[in-house]
Each structure stands twice: as C-alpha cells, then as structure tokens.
Amino acid sequence: MWRKLFSFLFFLAIISGKLSGFQDASFSLSGKITDEAGASLAGASVSIPGTNSGVYTDLNGNFIITGLKSGTYRVRVSFVGYAPFMRDVIISEDTRLNMSLKQQMLEAGEVIVNATRAGEHSPVAYVTIDNTALKNRNTGQDIPFILGLTPSLVETSEAGTGIGYTSLRVRGTDANRINVTIDGIPLNDPESQQMFWVDLPDLASSVDNIQVQRGIGTSSNGAAAFGATVSIQTKNPQYEPFAQVNTSYGSFNTSKNSFSVGSGLIADKFSLTMRLSQLHSDGYVKRTWSDHRSAFISGSYLGGRSRLQANIILGEEHTGIGWWGVPKEMLEVDRRYNPAGEYTDGAGSKRYYNNETDNYIQNHYQLLYSLKLNESLAFNAAFHYTTGLGYYEEYAASDSLKYYGLKPVTTGDTIIRATDLIRRKWMKNEFSGLVWSVKYKKERIEAALGGGANYYYGNHYGRIIWMKDPGNTQMDYQWYLGHGAKGEASFYAKADYSVTSGLSLFGDLQYRFVDYRITGMDDDLKPLDIEHRYNFFNPKAGLFFSISKAQNAFLSFSTAHREPTRTDFTEAAGDPDATPKAESLYDTEAGYRRSSEKLSFGLTLYYMYYKDQLVPTGQLSNTGYSIMTNVGKSYRAGAEITVGIRPADFLKWDMSLTLSRNKIADFTEYYTDYNTTTWEGVYKSRNLGNVDIAYSPSVIGSGDLVFSLKKNLDFHFISKYVGRQYFDNTMSTERMMDPYFVNNILVSFTPGMKHLKSAEFQLLVNNIFNSRYESNAYGGNWFEDGNEKTWSYFFPQAGTNFMLRASVMF
C-alpha cells in the first residue's frame, strides 16, 4: 500500500514538472478578476472564444492561461450576476491583464437561498463549504462525509464506506431534527422528518456550496431546525459551454462515473446544463452493495431584472439492506457480518436471501423565479413537486400468520401457524408546495419577509410476494394500508439593522402551522386514526459586534418547536395518556472570530435547553408498545473552537474542537423484570439521576493539514476524533461506542493541460492506520431475576481503503 502511494506521488511530481516545463516554453496570459469595488471574484470564467483555452479564477480571483503562441486574442470574462466582458489582447510575451466586472441588475441564483441563510453579520454559528472545497472532497462519498470536517459534526455509514445509507448528527442532534433545504426548498421527509441522502445520489456534483448552521440558526422552510440547518445551493448557470467527465474507482469495487454538459449562455439569455451519474459499491459490510443512478437538469432564462430557472433532479437507489447492523458478539468474529436475510433451509444449513434490498425512486421538479425590482428590493419564489415510490424486500423465517391477519393453514392433519415468507413494505408519496421571499437591502438595514406552504400525502402498505405454505393466500396479498397527510404553512420576518459601524441588531420572527393526519392500519394491524394541529411561534434576536476588520463577536437567543414524527404517534396509538407532546428548544449562543493572513480563530459558546424532549425511556403504552417519552428538562452546553494556521505559503492547518456536556435531568428508566421460573414480567422503574443524552459525544475534533508541494499539487492529512458515545440514556458501558481516531490522506493534482479548461486527479486513502471502529450503534436492555441484560448492534466502518478520481473539463 505505502509503496504504491509513494510511487503515485513521485509520478505526480514528475508529471507536474514536465507539464510546467512544457508550458514555460510558450507564452502565458495571467491576471486577476475583481468587481468594481476591487473584491476578488473566485470561479469567474476566463476564456478565448474559438479555442479550447479557458480557466476559472482561484479563491483570490487569479487566473493563468498557458501555451499561447504569438498573436492577437479576444479574451472573454464572465461571472454569473455580472455583465460579460470582452477585450482584445496582443500576446508576444508573458502578459498580465487585470479586469473588473460590472454587476448586473439581477443577482444570481444565490438570491433564492439567501433569504433563509446566515449573512455576514448574522449572530449565528455557521460554516459555508464553497465550490472549491466541495470539489476537493467529492471523491465519491455522500454529502454527510463531504461535510465531515464541519465543527461538531459526526457522520456515519451503514455499509461502512460512506456510500449508500449515510447520515449525520450535529452537536449530537439526530438527523430528524436537522433542517435540510436545496435552493430554499425543503428536502426532509415530512413524516419521519429524516433526510435520506441515498435518494439523491451524487447530488454534490451539482452543488455550488453548502451552508451548515449550528444551533437553531435563522428561519428556514420545511421541517423544524432543532439543532442544525443544512442549506444547499445548486450550481449557477455558466456563461461558457463546457463538457466534463468525472470518474472514480476504489476499494470494495466502488465506482462513480458522471458526465456533465452545459450550453453556456445562448443569446445572453438562455442556459441549459445536465449531469448524469452512476454509482456502485459492494460495501464493506457483506451484502450492503449500492447501485444508484441520478440526473440533474437545469434550464435558465435571464432577463434584465429577472431570472427563471427550472430544475429536474432524478434519483434511483437500489441498496442491500444493512440497517440491522452487526451484533456485538460478532464484532470480534466477523466485523463484516450482516444478519439481514439470514435463514435456515430444510437441510439445516444457514443461507442468505439474495434480494434483501431497499429500492426507491425519488424525482424532484422545481421552478424558481427571481425578480429584482430595484437596487434595494428583490422578490423570489419557488414551486416544487416531489414524487417517491419504492419498497424494501425482506425474507421472514417462520413468521406467525396472525401477524398478517391470516388464519392457520391446514395441510392434512398438520396445522401451520407460522411459515417462511417474503414481504415488501411499500411507500408511495407526493410532496408539493411554494416557498417565497421578499428581500430589502439599503444602507443600514437588510430585511426579508418570506414563508411557504407545503402539502404531503403518503401511502404505507405491505404485500407478501411469496409464502412457503400459502394455503389459499393470493399472490401479493396486502396485509396493511396506512395513509399520512400533512399540511404546513410558515411565515417569517427578519431584519439586520446597523446601529453604528460596529454594532448590528438582528431580529427574526417565525410562525409555523402544522396539520397532520394519520389513518388506516399500521404494519402490526393496529388501527390508526390520529390528527394533531400545532401553532408554533419562534422568535430570535441577537447582537453582532464588528470590533475591527479582523475581529467580530455575536450574542443571540432563539427558540424553536418541533412536532413528533409518524413513528412517535403510531407507537403511542390507542393510549391517550402516551400521546407525545411537541418539543421546545431555547438556544443561547455567543461567538468570537478573529482572522488574519497567518492565523484565524473562532470560539462559539452555546447552551441549548430542551423542554419535553422526546427520548426512549423503555416506557410502554397501555397497548404494550415501546414509546418515545417526553422528558421535562435536558440540555446541551458546549464550546466550539476553530483554528486556522498558515505559517508559510505552502502550509496551512485548519482545526476544530468541540467540548460539550449533554444531559437529561432526573431521568427515570422503565423496564420489565422477568421471573425465569415462570417467565412472568413485572413492570418496574428506576431513577438514574442526571444522565448523558444518547449519541452525544463530549469531544469531537477534526483537522486538515495541507502541504502545497507545488502550485498544482496539494497533500492533505485529514484527522477526525469522536469521543465516547452511549446509545441509550442509561450511561451503561455495555451500551456504549468506544472513542475513535481516524486519519485520511488526500492528494490533489491539477495540471495545466493544453486544449482543456481544467483537469484534476485525486487519490484518497481513508483510515490509513487501519483503525477498528464503529460510528453508530443501537440497542437496549432487559432484566431477568433482577439482573440486567444487554442487546446491541453496531455499524463498523471500513479499514484502510482508497479512491482514485479523475476529472476533465473541455
């Protein structure tokens, strides 16, 4: 492994030197692109029409085009939101040309998402991952892993590779409490409130930037932001036509191939881009393969003051089921063991059903409109419609017929009450709505009015497609059908007012209405007739201090409320006393940032107080179901530290560290104690006092050490540390994930190649020290004769593995 790695680096160094030497024999055109105020424009296109010569400016607005012969060239510079610029340049030697662009009346696509994002003076803890960073990290893994260096974030993968079913937590906050939007449009599933990244394969290849707000953040659309917000902005249309090919291959037969093409700006008004992607991986855990396809199509019309854009996002995923995890007792025997689909055949041999899979198609249709009324006022609206259809298929060995509403099957003198069967649990849903905003900006004030109205309808149903002993049961017998309908409307008004040059006031008021109805039958044949309405008011306020150009600080207080999920309601159905209540969060944050050319430092202190937080306690409803229970008081308090050091031009080191306490006050656990003689159970409880909240490590750290070996060759040493985590609320060491420390290497090579707009080659080696660790787990306990017993399943992550990526743009 190491010999191959060093050989690869040596090869890149040689090629880099040869290419540089080749290009130095010709002339070059270099310069810097800025706006009228002198601010650098990163990502501006600099091209020579009629040739294949073209580049994009770097983070400082600089560019260089090499390999030019003597002659006169027409140079075109373009950047979305600015008027294109043309100039004739005579090349007879290495030439430097600085150019500035004039902003158009129309702001570009980011205006659609800016209304819900944190701004420069927002009193919010946030980080924005720009296009350059996204490209460097997009080697094939899903967005939770691309965001892995974000402070307080923990990513996890069921397959152990970062592909397939992946998820993230921020400050210990579960994924169903994190608000996710794309171009301001909500993405969370309205019923589970989860974000299923697997349904949008290779979305990162069509994304320009991602902002992650920690804490409640600013008002957003869709599901409640109950600890974090992830705001995704898709790529803006490009002025120049292009074609790009990306291909990746790595361990576990993992591959990602994508092709992108863009028309450029036609008649200074129209633009069309398209991406097609295909991903495959065998997975680290056995039979957790992934076979995914996706497409992104975007068309834009640019007027003098307006912009109309239509997006189509198509996703199709087929994934081997791995959500059961690996039983604790198997971790030392076979870390890649997967119990999904396991059964015993008639000869007593252990076998695995070969189609234990999850299959889902999700398509998004979006129409976005922006209108700049004048220099101070802009209006934005987006219509969205999403359809989803899919199922997961499971082999159920010796399952009781009564669970499916079936009578025993009589064969001769034999009465069969349980049999092997294959079942599919289906979901078919639709989600549609409108989000809008009006943004005003002039002198000391920046304000926005906005909101949205969304409607969801989903069917949940199950069918048996095969039975070992079917009797008179028909093929595709449907044993349950449930419905969910959810309407939501929200309205917000927020403003940022500069009292002085050093002090800004921030206010944000949001009203959110939710109407949720569940009917039909659940998969356990429990009848459902549930309806709840909520009216939430979420005020936020803060101060932002501009101490100097290099220093600022903020202080804020925010509130948020969140309705229970579908599962919270269905498990409590039939017991009015067990009906879950809405949760409330009160978030106090204070931050300080200082930056200079050589050193940057940030500190955020937070105290998140929860009222009626829903947690598992072991409590049962009067119908015998384990329910999520509201606990009176709980909190998360911590310090997030970020440091950036650049001691030399060729070296920089970005680091983050989160230290926190995450507690439930006066926690009571409920359990059943079984008498092993009669196996009768007695329902009991015990008070455990103040306990840690599950899945909340008190220490999270990350680092990215970058060596720029040559101008176009970067070497990243990436580290991630996650402290001890309990996966229930009892603080038992039997139900705990050990701390882990993982290190990766990323080598990025971007040669200047004649006749290409850009080229990039990457090598990513994950877990270089082959650490054995688990990033997620679940489990519980029971009691026998007063003695506590534990059951637990873990999600082990892959040892040392690699990915190679090549990207070429024409």
Give the Cα separation of 223 and 189 in Å (integer): 8
Yes or no: say if 139 and 148 are a contact pair by the CB < 8 Å rule: no
Instruction: Spell out, as residue ranges, where the chain has pLDDT lower than 50.
Output: 1-25, 105-109
| C-alpha closest to that of 454 among 402, 506, 382 | 382
Rounded to whole angstroms, how far apart are CA atoms 153 and 148?
6
3-class DSSP state of 598 = coil
Handedness of CA 81, 86, 91, 93 (dihedral sign): negative
Q: What is the pLDDT of residues 676-720, one digit of tens each?
A: 999 999 989 999 999 999 999 999 999 999 998 877 899 999 999
Q: How far apart are the two ends of the chain, measured CA to CA in Å?
A: 33
Rounded Cα gap, residues 65 and 9, in angstroms: 25
Distance (Å, rounded) from C-alpha 460 to C-alpha 521? 9
Chain centre to alpha carbon of residue 712: 29
DSSP string, 87-98: EEEEESS-EE--
CA–CA gap between residue 690 and residue 668 (Å, rounded):
9
Q: Are 787 and 737 in contact (CB under 8 A)?
A: no
d(CA 770, CA 800): 5
Specify the pTM.
0.87
Superfamily of domain 242-809: TonB-dependent receptor, beta-barrel domain (2.40.170.20)
Per-residue DSSP letters for 481-540?
EEEEEEEEEEEEEEEEEEEETTEEEEEEEEEEEEEEEEEEE-TTS-EEEEEEEEEEEEEE
* Among candidate residues 297, 196, 54, 216, the one with its CA nearest the CA of residue 540: 216
**Whole-angstrom Cα distance, residue 152 to residue 169?**
8
Distinct helix (H) and strand (E) counts, the chain: 5, 47
Give which of 31, 19, 99 is closest to 67, Cα–Cα: 19
Q: What single letter denotes the amino acid at residue 298?
A: S
The predicted structure's pLDDT at residue 710: 75
Backbone φ and ψ for 243, nearest 5 degrees, come out as -140, 135
The reported pLDDT for the residue numbered 9 is: 46
Q: What is the DSSP letter of 712?
A: T
Is residue 232 a contact partner of residue 147, using CB atoms and an 8 Å limit? Answer: no
SS3 51: coil
At 132 the three-state DSSP class reads helix
Q: Using the 8-state DSSP alphabet, how is residue 565 labeled?
A: P
Is residue 6 within a helix (H) or strand (E), and if so which, with residue range? helix 2-24
325: left (phi over 0), alpha (psi -120 to 50) or beta: left
Give alpha helix (H) positions in 117-250. 131-137, 143-146
CB 328 within 8 A of CB 735: no
Q: H/E element holding 425?
A: strand 418-442
Instruction: Please give the full DSSP string across 179-198, using - where no structure is assigned.
Output: EEEETTEE-S-TTT----GG
Pairing of strands 27-35, 99-101: parallel
Q: Which of 381, 377, 370 has the alpha carbon at shortest distance from 81?
A: 370
The ranges assigned to domains in the chain are 27-101, 242-809
The per-residue pLDDT for 39 is 83
What is the structure's pLDDT at 70? 81
pLDDT at 52: 56
Look at residue 390 and give its three-state secondary structure. strand
Give residue 810's pLDDT: 86
CA–CA separation, 763 and 748 (whole Å): 7
Q: Which helix (H) or strand (E) holds 15?
A: helix 2-24
Task: Find the farthest-apart pair of alpha carbons in the chain and give their distance in angstroms, rounded.
Answer: 99
What span, in angstroms and rounded, lies between the C-alpha atoms of 621 and 619?
A: 7
Q: Does the domain at residues 27-101 carry the CATH identifier 3.30.420.40?
A: no
Q: pLDDT tens digits for 430-469?
A: 999 999 999 998 888 999 999 999 999 999 999 999 999 9
Name, in order, each residue with C-beta under 8 angstroms of 385's C-beta and a sequence gap of 6 or more: 364, 365, 366, 430, 431, 432
Question: Which structure tokens are listed for 399?
Answer: 């399952």
> What pLDDT does residue 231 have?
94
Local structure of residue 691 (DSSP, 8 states): E
196-244: pLDDT as tens digits: 999 999 999 999 899 999 999 988 888 888 989 999 999 887 778 899 9
> What is the Cα–Cα distance from 296 to 298, expressed in whole angstroms?
7
323: number of Cβ within 10 Å? 15
